[in-house]
Amino acid sequence: MAPKKLYIKTYGCQMNVYDSERMAEAMGGEGYETTERPEDADMILLNTCHIREKAAEKVYSELGRYKGLKAARPDLKIGVAGCVAQAEGEEIMRRQPMVDLVVGPQSYHRLPEMEAKVRTGGKALDTDFPEEDKFDHLKGRPKAKRGPTAFLTVQEGCDKFCAFCVVPYTRGAEVSRPADRVLTEARDLVERGVREITLLGQNVNAYHGHDGGLAGLIHALAEVDGLERIRFTTSHPNDMDEALIEAHGTCDKLMPYLHLPVQAGSDKILKRMNRQHTAEQYLRLIERLRAARPDLHLSGDFIVGFPEETEADFQATLDLIEAVEYGSAFSFKYSERPGTPAAERPQVPEAEKDDRLQRLQALLTKQQRSLQDAMVGRDVHVLFEKPGRLPGQMVGKSEYLHAVHVETSGIVPGDMARIRIESSGPNSLKGVMSPL
């Protein structure tokens, strides 16, 4: 029998990317192969994000697009997974009756049973937070070769309850995977060609699956032969403990790049966001990190137009950004999320949010560009990932996560080389093999 085809579309954060891979593997056991074309699929699965209103609404417009396909082929099954599935559950089927299956991020190991149910014409809904470990049910992944970089979820869920955020509701309470399982998965990835692993968690530095916390896990991973680079994301400032700060100075495989969201620079707003730290505490933390690793590049997330944010509050965010100098950043207009405390507060007018976002992004882009330009003339280490757009070109990432293009023959994905940076473009660097 020809294999059935699964089309997965992934929205949201890196954890969803990881989860989509796991779902594809779980369905692989049921005879499904993945396809890039929804029109060829026997099952379409949207792995969704609920973080902002726009992200959630995308799901419904995407579902609308599949109406024709479903009408032409009634045996096409359509599923919604991820954080919208968790947040809206049955409501999705009510709004879009052609959806056959809804599965939350903590129960997707049950996909095979759910698929069997919808195959016989039923509907399936599972948004439980089950006791069993979903990762244990996802063993037996095929040993196929893979690219040089991979994500690996080590921690999931969040107990922080920032006043704007849905993640504690969609992903549930903080859970850490035991270190031995993480190490086994990492070794397996390395055997399949992976050179760089990014450890994932909604609050990855709250990881406690190793006696030594996340720092302990990183040091243990650094012992894995063939694994060259370790990164981790996303961290909360309050969980950056001494050992983890130190690891940035002592662990060669830990890359000098840290995503450390602060969201805002005004203490009034930080308090209302329930971030549990001040702007000054964040700046002191950055100082300690830079003392451990002077060339550390920082990245952050920012929200503008949080309820009751004044121009002076916004200015405090700009001041904090000036003080830190970010290598890259993500910034968003505050989006009201049903059920979160901030949604009940007096809102900032949309035009004001637009204006602040523009000003914030102008500053962040300027900083990003100047740190990138400062790479010209320096040597960096590049892990090559794939051919570039021009013939004979390869592209990879430096330790600072800058994309670097090199014209060269004889380099294949997975190779690492010392590259001298010659020029800096809008989104990437160009270099040549270093003469050293």
Q: Which residue is nearest to ligand F3S (CB)?
A: 12
* 334 interacts with ligand SAH by CB under 6 A: yes
Partner in contact with 82, chosen from ligand SAH, ligand SF4, ligand F3S, none, beta carbon below 5 to 8 Å by kind: ligand F3S
Cα–Cα nearest to 306, from 354, 344, 269, 267: 269
Q: What is the dihedral of CA 325, 331, 336, 341, to 10 degrees?
A: -20
**197: closest CA among 184, 178, 211?**
184
The site partner of 161 among ligand F3S, ligand SF4, ligand SAH, none (C-beta below 5 to 8 Å per kind) is ligand SF4
Sign of the dihedral through C-alpha 107, 28, 14, 214: positive
Candidates 135-143, 160-168, 222-230, 372-380 — which segment interacts with ligand SAH by CB under 6 A?
Answer: 160-168
Q: Which residue in 152, 165, 194, 230 binds ligand SF4 (CB under 6 A)?
A: 165
Pairwise CA distance, residues 320 & 301, whole Å: 12
CB of 224 to ligand F3S, least distance (A): 27
User: Looking at 77, 248, 253, 337, which residue binds ligand SAH (CB under 6 A)?
Assistant: 337
Residues 32/5, Cβ–Cβ less than 8 Å: yes
Main-chain phi, psi angles of 301, to 5 degrees: -120, 140
What is the rounded distance in angstroms from the CA atom of residue 67 to the CA atom of residue 69?
5
Q: Which stretch binds ligand SF4 (CB under 6 A): 67-75, 138-146, 160-168, 348-356?
A: 160-168
Question: In the complex, what is the shortest distance from the CB of residue 261 to ligand F3S, in angstroms, rounded to a whole number?
Answer: 12
Q: Where are the alpha helices (DSSP H) in 99-222?
A: 111-119, 167-170, 179-191, 213-222
Alpha carbon distance 272, 30 (integer Å): 48
Note whether 299 binds ligand SAH by CB under 6 A. no
The region of 41-49, 101-109, 116-124, 164-172 touching ligand SF4 under the rule CB under 6 A is: 164-172
Choosing from 267, 301, 355, 415, the residue that interacts with ligand SAH (CB under 6 A) is 301
**Which residue of 22, 77, 171, 253 would you call a contact of ligand F3S, by CB under 6 A?**
171
The interface region with ligand F3S, picked from 45-53, 68-76, 353-361, 404-412 by CB under 6 A, is 45-53
Per-residue CA distances from 377 to 221, 371, 395, 416 (Å): 32, 13, 18, 19
Q: Give the interface with ligand SAH as residue ranges (CB under 6 A).
A: 13, 51-52, 164-165, 167, 202-203, 234, 261, 263, 301, 303, 332, 334-335, 337
